[in-house]
Amino acid sequence: MGHTYTRVKVFSADLSRLEEVRLLVDTGSTYTWIDRKVLEKLGVKVRRFWKFRTIDGRLIERRIGDVMVECLEEQAPTVVVFAEDEDEKVVGVHALEGLRRLHFS
């Protein structure tokens, strides 16, 4: 079984600018992790710092913020983690639920 990737549009706070990114779909990740440089370019504000435990047991601290994302013509607000170079860039369950990508009628 392979990995599934999707294209996600990430918007600036005023929705006037966007960047399209390719992210791994990761239902094991609660939050969406997007490259810090992309988020800074869009002017996404840092809301706070959160600590995360990595799969190998390390404790790391990352900035988080809020963005509007779009995928497959659905938009939703979501929490986003400012991912560093060594972090996997993923779309997580919080965004997928908001985008209605885990529930099909």
104 found inside a domain: no
Rounded to an integer, what distance in angstroms lies between the CA atom of residue 67 and that of residue 70? 10
| CA atoms of 16 and 75, how far apart (whole Å) | 14
Residue at 103 is within a domain = no
Question: Using one digit for the tens of pLDDT, what is the confidence trace for 17-39?
Answer: 999 999 999 988 999 999 999 99
Q: Kindly report, residue by residue over 56-101, the tens digit of the pLDDT.
A: 899 999 999 999 999 988 999 999 999 999 999 999 998 988 887 6
Please report whether residue 17 resides in a domain: yes
Does 70 reside within a domain?
A: yes
Domain range for 93 is 5-98
| Alpha helices per DSSP H over 3-103 | 36-42, 93-98
- Residue 77 belongs to a domain: yes
CATH number at residue 35: 2.40.70.10
Q: Count the domains in the chain.
A: 1
